[in-house]
Structure 1
Amino acid sequence: MAPPRSFRPSNRPSGPGKGPAKGRGGKRPSTPPAATPHGPILSLSIDRLGARGDGIAHADGQTVFVPFALPGETVQAQALSRSSDGVSTVLKGIEQPSEHRADPVCPHFTRCGGCVTQHMVREDESVWKRSLIVEALKHRGFEDADALVSSTIALPAGSRRRAVFGYRRLAERVVVGFNERASHQIIPLDACPVLVPALSSLPARLSALLAPVLPKGSQGDIMVVASDTGVDMMLDIPAIPDLAGREGLAAVADQLDLARLTVRIGKTPEPMVMRRQPVITLGNTRLPLPIGAFLQPSAEGQQALQDLVLAAVRDTTGAVADLFCGMGTFALPIAELGRQVTAYDLEAVQTAPLHTTGRVKAQARDLFRLPLIIDELKPFSTIVLDPPRAGAQQQCQELVRLPSGVGPQRVVMVSCSPATFSRDARILADGGYQLNSVTPVDQFVWSAHVELVAVFTR
């Protein structure tokens, strides 16, 4: 059956020299068959929490992972699957609860795949996330990790300003929400306590507003960012809309008071409705938000990270290089201190707005394939690194090739992965840099993720 008229592929190509694109705007992967709990129900004593937030117990010489269980609890669980790491289970009941157990604030907790620790007191979550960093550093030989890692800066719930919802157009309605735990099924949401108010109620409103304009059977992602001037949204659709489809999308943007609505067909984004330019503030500078640009998950988290980085840079002199700079989260505030800043990131869409401010020299560069080499590093006194989860191994290897006393004498690293951070910290330490401090920042509330800011000197 052909799609409704509003989303029939038009004759307009979806990219230079291309026909209608296929991919994310089409169908999601089919849902894999769910594993079925099997075997006897076990009574288990939970010893500690694992890196993903599961309770860890031991039975018959095997490690057993129990979701939503806390240390000190006695629980009932049934085996779900086995791997070389141990046995994954389903929580069946709690025989002896921990006094640190909290009541989840969301009715979808344990089903929704977004949160893993709503059953944990927030103070305990902060301690646990700090321990993830300490253990990762100890694994890499930093025996003084406990002394190096400070207490976690915990940010409030309801502060996340960006999210990716999934949607599926069924026969009579559109389901919008987050994926179910370990599944492609989507849980419809009325509200999400993790998100800022401007985003929290969007799934329920989108379910009603998108029904008239999406073809039955379509599915994809809806990416939303709460910018300073309103919500910026990008919607996956199966084909470029014709006039009727564009009018329908414009009506959605009006009813939701969106700043901008972009559609994505395959991997190609196309601006559809611009009611206001989405803007983000970095330091004292307001920048236009590029479509799909990286942004710190929360304004509060951004400020906490900026404060830590600026504190580490303020007492240094000389030029600063900001590597993996994004839109200039750190480059612009550092430049406002009167420092000369050169910034690098993979995507020109990120660096172009930063460069146009005139305050920072910014350029696009793939730092994984082309890290700054010795001669390029020599002019800088300080390096700020904020790599993605893969870390900055290649760049750290180049840094330690510099002779002692030449080039950057301070490295400030921002990381969202304790594992890759500790690997890169080991490289720097073995190359003559001393790890002075690590500060965890928890802006991923109720998840297993944590960020940190570390300071190295040479």
Structure 2
Amino acid sequence: MSRHRNRKSKGVQNSPLVETTIESLTLEGQGVAHVDGKTVFIDGALPGETVEFRYTSHKQKHDIGKVETILTPSPDRVEPKCEHFGICGACSWQHLSLEAQIKHKQRAMLNNLKHIGKAEPETVFAPLTADGWAYRRKARLGAKWVHKKQKALVGFREKEGGFLAELNRCEILHPSIGEHLLDFQALIASLDARESVPQIEVAVGDGDNATALIFRHMEELSEGDTDKLLVFGKQFNYQIYLQPKGPETVHCIYPENPELYYEHPQFNTKVGFMPLDFIQVNQPLNRAMVARALELLAPEPTDTVLDLFCGLGNFTLPLARLAAQVIGVEGEQTMVERARAAAHANGIMNTDYHVCNLMGDNLQHEPWLKKNRYDKILLDPPRAGAKEIIAYMGKLNAGRIVYVSCDPATLARDTYELVHEHGYRLVGAGVMDMFPHTSHVESIAVFEK
């Protein structure tokens, strides 16, 4: 039910207040209501709430609005911790309690499995969670010198539009970054090349001196600017990298021998990485995720395990502590080289690695696919899922598969193939809150023959 207040036909401009009740929530954090039989997505509203909103745009099949007044708040509504929430586009769910966030993500995963995958897990695992704040260790921050304001901006883009948000701090970034955005802004403002530094890549590892900054600069830096960056690195204990052109030009100017790594103490493994390498952004959750994946896969000392989309060896190295042999497959040559180096550095000799585009054609000619049988398989694909390699799962004939997913829709699509084409059972599935306060859904599923 909804009730109009002097609604006029003037489109979005001067849109009157409309009262309605919110029925559900999108993954992007918009409340869903129906007004005059048409779906409306309403920013800032939560399920069960009665709100007053204004239209912000009209589409053919739906409209979009923004909350003006919460008349009846949801019991799950909380006060956002970040002063910039609603403006900055990095978060969409800070107004929803962490407990409710994970419930919505679990519901999204289960709905996708049921409607797309045509399968329901025999067991729904308890959600895997960690601290919801100061967790993000990888990010690309925009940087811009604003002439009108005579100041620099550093941070994420606004929720609406492509402009950089004016941020003082960030509550989800690791404190070595999130608490120093004003220092970043002061640094950029002090540079001669302030108008030619469009972004700063950040990466945080474990240990001391574990925060790396990559400054992308569009013109050659003056000696004075380089000196300022060096002083900044020493002052805040940052590793300072420069990127004058493409990714291959990234180089460190401080310290002389930088080191970035993360550890899995439970498995006595340490993984070195470069600032642009892919790593999981939430290290406490990553440790818990790897432990759960290995518990579910349950490798035996005599098992040969296939690790697809292995990256730097996030799962491969811990698996190698438990299995007879682990075969890692990854699409990027540099990642495979670093995975080999990590295995050697950890004294692990029972891994083998292959470079292969797992989302390409003609996979049947790959040597690791010609092996008669793997006992267990673990895969951790990107958002696009693992459609191409899933087609070979029947041939590989592993007794158990653990699938780590960052998109519930592609997990559901691949689940359909595993269950209905290759004869697997969906033994269990659950969500993992890798990205609190955002719409990202990380999940894990177990299949058995």
TM-score by length of 1: 0.86
Residue of 358, 361, 374 corresponding to 1:380: 374
Q: Following the alignment from structure 2 to structure 1, what is the Cα–Cα distance between the partners of residues 362 and 418? A: 15
Q: Following the alignment from structure 1 to structure 2, what is the Cα–Cα distance between the partners of residues 371 and 95? A: 58
How far 1:398 moved relative to its partner?
Answer: 1.8
* 1:18 aligned partner: none
Verify: 1:60 aligned to 2:36, yes or no: yes
More displaced 10-residue stretch of structure 1: 211-220 or 43-52: 211-220
* 2:245 aligned partner: 265
Q: Following the alignment from structure 1 to structure 2, what is the Cα–Cα distance between the partners of residues 121 and 237? A: 40
Q: Following the alignment from structure 1 to structure 2, what is the Cα–Cα distance between the partners of residues 241 and 164? A: 20
Residue of 317, 339, 357 corresponding to 2:324: 339
More displaced 10-residue stretch of structure 1: 384-393 or 87-96: 87-96
SS of the residue 2:305 aligns to:
strand
Q: Following the alignment from structure 2 to structure 1, what is the Cα–Cα distance between the partners of residues 411 and 270? A: 31
* 2:160 aligned partner: 182
Residue of 417, 432, 448 corresponding to 1:441: 432
Check the 8 A contact 2:309/2:358 in 1, yes or no: yes
Q: Following the alignment from structure 1 to structure 2, what is the Cα–Cα distance between the partners of residues 178 and 37? A: 28
Alignment of 1:223-372 (within 5 A): 223-228=201-206, 229=208, 230-275=210-255, 276-282=258-264, 283-316=267-300, 317-356=302-341, 357-358=343-344, 359=348, 360-370=351-361, 372=363
Q: Following the alignment from structure 1 to structure 2, what is the Cα–Cα distance between the partners of residues 214 and 323? A: 46
SS of the residue 1:188 aligns to:
coil
Residue of 416, 425, 428 corresponding to 1:426: 416
Q: Following the alignment from structure 2 to structure 1, what is the Cα–Cα distance between the partners of residues 377 and 55? A: 48
Residue of 1, 18, 21 corresponding to 1:45: 21
Q: 4+ residue runs of structure 1 moved beyond 4 angstroms?
A: 35-38
Check the 8 A contact 1:290/1:350 in 2, yes or no: no
Check the 8 A contact 1:327/1:354 in 2, yes or no: yes
Q: Deviations over 1:166-196 (max 9, x none)?
A: 1102343221111110222212322221122
More displaced 10-residue stretch of structure 1: 337-346 or 417-426: 337-346
Residue of 99, 113, 127 corresponding to 1:152: 127
How far 1:303 moved relative to its partner?
Answer: 0.9
AA at the equivalent of 1:456: F
Q: Following the alignment from structure 1 to structure 2, what is the Cα–Cα distance between the partners of residues 349 and 213? A: 33
AA at the equivalent of 1:446: H
Residue of 68, 71, 84 corresponding to 1:108: 84
Q: Percent identity?
A: 28
Q: CA RMSD in A?
A: 2.2
Check the 8 A contact 2:117/2:413 in 1, yes or no: no
* 1:99 aligned partner: 75
AA at the equivalent of 2:424: Y
AA at the equivalent of 2:434: Q
CA 37–379 in structure 1, closer or farther in 2 if over 3 Å, else same = farther
* 2:193 aligned partner: 215
CA 286–141 in structure 1, closer or farther in 2 if over 3 Å, else same = closer
How far 1:362 moved relative to its partner?
Answer: 2.1
* 1:27 aligned partner: none
SS of the residue 2:235 aligns to:
helix
Q: Following the alignment from structure 1 to structure 2, what is the Cα–Cα distance between the partners of residues 443 and 135? A: 20
CA 263–36 in structure 1, closer or farther in 2 if over 3 Å, else same = farther
* 2:8 aligned partner: none
AA at the equivalent of 2:413: R
How far 1:136 moved relative to its partner?
Answer: 0.6
Q: Following the alignment from structure 2 to structure 1, what is the Cα–Cα distance between the partners of residues 439 and 192? A: 34
* Alignment gaps of 5+ in structure 2: 1-10
AA at the equivalent of 1:257: N
* Alignment gaps of 5+ in structure 1: 1-34
CA 149–278 in structure 1, closer or farther in 2 if over 3 Å, else same = same
How far 1:214 moved relative to its partner?
Answer: 5.0
AA at the equivalent of 1:397: A
AA at the equivalent of 1:410: R
